[in-house]
A and B are shown apart, each in its own frame.
Chain A
Amino acid sequence: MVSKNFTKTTRVLAAGMAFAAITAGSAVAAEPLIIGLTSDASGQYANSGASDRRGMQMAIAEFNAKGGVLGREIKIVHIDTETTPATGSRVAERMISRENVGFMIGAVSSGVANAISQVAQKYGVVYLNTNSSSPTESGKNCHRVKFVWDGNGKNFAQAAVKNAISSYGKDWLLLTNDYVWGHNTSKATRQLAVSHGAKIIDEIMVPQGTRDFSATLLKVQQKNPKVIAAAVGGDDLKALRQQVGQLDMGAKYAWINNQQDWPDVYGLPMKNLFGVFGTTWYYKLDLPGVDDFVKRYQAMYPDTKIRVPGNVFYNGYWATRSLLEAIETAGTTNNHAVIKQLEKLRIPAATRMQHDDAYMDAKTHQMQQTVYLATANTGSNDKDDMFRILSNSSPEKVADMAAQSTCNLESFADTPVVTR
């Protein structure tokens, strides 16, 4: 344990600003603050988990370079959550009772996020769900200690649906992964589409774990819709991309996809990136600070295959940075004080490198932020420049209204006090 923390911390420090780190290291006398990183390192979301983790590490390195948080050096403990909820519970228990972590950060899978947040709530430890985009995370499975940093399926549907009806047509077909996330996302799309005058001609359910979509794609052709709204996730989506690309079906129909995570698509042929999809950030947004952010990423991770930061990294980075800033503002690591700070969090657009100010919804604990629609940037010579941003929608326009009524946060009295 000790040696791993040590090497990790040193690597992070060295990669950051070495000079500042040395001065900071000698100035720090207080006990270090330990932060647990709970991102997946194996299983379906191993790759996104790694990207997520890099974001957190960069934010932490930047703080350590400035002398840590509240004058305390920040140390990292990472344990693989294996994209498995049962493991998530065990890892959270271990981190809290054995590693004495003050805060936990990281999730891509909503199942893992749920498992961790339940344990976190029991002990009162603040937990940041960085990258799970299931609407239930800030809906019925919300918790006082949990904060959600990604846009969810409903946000993206809000951004995409209305436009698609006017530009592509009214005959819609839903292609839905047959599990809870798929159902929730497709329900949100269906409601929005119908209320804007679309006709749902069919809904094709594909079981989770499907690797061969040939029958589905033939069926789609027989139904001949104008728009296909796909709520397919994880490895299933990767297989679907590959097969739609092979059939050149991406251009034949207007595909509306949910969010496409950068680590999932980076380096793939452009043909696989069919249709319109959502994202919360892109490295070529024409906003001040973006270029500098990309440079910092490249300086810190010179050997990483993914040469530019994407949305998963961005969420991991911002969740961690906002947490550390909230601790600084609160002046304490006391969980209640930090939660109260995060609940009134508001970050100016210029700082966050998005088009609109972002703010935390105190009722659902979901970050309200700009949502972008993008499509494949065909014809670009730059291999990294894969997305073409089509539009940006302000947080108010894409807000998930249903979450307000389904989320019921525990009271502060029911949340144990932790100060570490």
Chain B
Amino acid sequence: MDIILNLLPHIINGLALGLLFALIALGFMLIVGVMELINLAHGSLFALGAYIAMTLIDPNIAGWGSFGVWYMELSLTLRYVIGLALAPAFVAIVGMGLEICMRRTYGKKAEYGLLLTFGAALVIEESIRIIWGSSEQFLPVPEMVSGAFIAGGMIYSNYRFFAAGFGIFMIALVWLFLEKTPYGSIIKAGAHDSEMVRALGVNLTVLRLMVFGLGASLSAVAGVILTPIWGLRPHVGVDVVIPAFLIIVLGGIGSFWGAVVAGILVGLVVGIFGAYASEWSLMSMYILLIIVITFRTRGLFGKKSALEN
């Protein structure tokens, strides 16, 4: 009984952490799944989203005139919502710009796309450093989701549960979009057979542009949600790409639920290792991956993908 009581908080924590991992992987998953492109700029877009949101939530209003004064009088919650909504939109535009560059690599080896996004990652990270400086900053969150609560004698962070809840919301939103809207059907069809989609009269160029924009904006959403926990610095995105990559492969490329399940699994493993063998907590996800991939070639729910060739 004691063991269970001792373990329970860590399981709850692991689940919450897992939802955050799934949220991190969402944008990455969409781009890999549909375009079969490994987007190494995912982390930089994540950071860019957070920086833009920070600027929207807590801007330097000098030079904005009366609009600035009016804007700062809005409540923090309202400004936060504006940041959470607009930052991903800006990042979507950046993502679309990247996709336009990307077009020259289609039909060539996957490594070229990978390298292009790696270059873009460097450019975005350095641009952040130039625009916002290299110092540690923070992204303010509304009063109602900050602070902590006590349950069973343990302190939990409100924000972490808000973030996990938001993770569920985003997962549901993306799932609904993919499954219940005509756009989603086209995107999914495009993932399986681009020739067929083209034959059906869908403009593949526009489709890819949209998917990349959407993926980039999901990276930005993850950035806005995660950086109040991790802190905000220009290279914060470096810590995102590998977990995202790992979760996608663990779940199986092209599988939506695979990524979600893998995210939660990684969260649980990292959370429980963090409690009982903390020095191995970061390593545990790699070990998990090696074990799973050794026995299941395409991850948990993977389908055959062009990226295998």
Contacts and interface: CB of A to CB of B under 8 A. Distances in A.
B219 interface: no
Interface string A16-59: 00000000000000000000000000111011001000000000
A264 interface: yes
A207 interface: yes
B68 interface: no
Contacts of B20: 212
A211 B234 CA distance: 15
Interface in B239-288: 239, 270-275, 278-283
A56 to B, nearest CB: 17
A187 to B, nearest CB: 16
Nearest to B234: A46
Contacts of B231: 235, 238-239, 241-242
Given A221-B155, A222-B6, A241-B231, A205 B133 contact: no
Contacts of A50: 134
Contact of A214 (B13, B228, B282): B13
B204 to A, nearest CB: 38
Contact of A210 (B16, B235, B281): B281
Q: How large is the interface on B (under 10, 10 to 19, 20 to 34, 35 or more residues)?
A: 35 or more
A242 B229 contact: yes
Given A214-B160, A246-B160, A207 B134 contact: no
A46 B129 contact: yes
Contacts of A248: 147-148, 155
Interface centre among A212, A217, A242, A247 (most CB of B within 10 A): A212
A306 B159 contact: no
A304 B76 CA distance: 27
Contacts of B133: 47, 305
B230 A211 contact: yes
A238 B136 contact: yes
Interface string B126-152: 100100011111100000001110000
Interface string B1-36: 000001001100110110010000000000000000
Interface in A261-316: 263-269, 272, 305-306
Contacts of A178: 279
Contacts of A218: 9-10, 13, 154, 275
A239 B230 contact: yes
A416 interface: no
Nearest to B12: A218
A207 B155 contact: no
B134 A46 contact: yes
B46 to A, nearest CB: 12
Contact of A207 (B9, B271, B280): B280
Contacts, number: 131
B282 A215 contact: no
A247 B228 CA distance: 12
Interface string A210-254: 111011111101100000000000010011011100111100100
Q: How large is the interface on A (under 10, 10 to 19, 20 to 34, 35 or more residues)?
A: 35 or more
A242 B138 contact: yes
B297 interface: no
Contacts of A43: 235
B105 interface: no
A401 interface: no
Contacts of A205: 278-279
A280 to B, nearest CB: 20
Nearest to A209: B282
B233 interface: yes
A372 B248 CA distance: 48
Interface centre among B129, B233, B278 (most CB of A within 10 A): B278
Interface centre among A204, A216, A246, A264 (most CB of B within 10 A): A246
Nearest to B145: A246
A165 to B, nearest CB: 25
B157 interface: yes
Contact of A249 (B9, B155, B233, B278): B155
Given A47-B134, A204-B278, A239-B231, A215 B155 contact: no
A206 interface: yes
A202 B279 CA distance: 13
B254 to A, nearest CB: 28
Interface centre among A210, A241, A247, A249 (most CB of B within 10 A): A247
Contact of B230 (A242, A268, A306): A242
B270 A212 contact: yes
Interface in A101-129: none
A211 B222 CA distance: 15
Interface centre among B129, B271, B275 (most CB of A within 10 A): B275
A264 B136 contact: yes
B154 A215 contact: no
B278 to A, nearest CB: 5
30 contacts: A42-B129, A46-B234, A47-B233, A204-B278, A205-B278, A205-B279, A206-B279, A210-B282, A211-B230, A212-B20, A212-B270, A214-B13, A214-B16, A214-B157, A215-B13, A215-B270, A215-B272, A215-B273, A216-B274, A216-B278, A218-B13, A218-B275, A235-B231, A242-B231, A243-B157, A246-B147, A248-B155, A264-B136, A267-B135, A267-B137
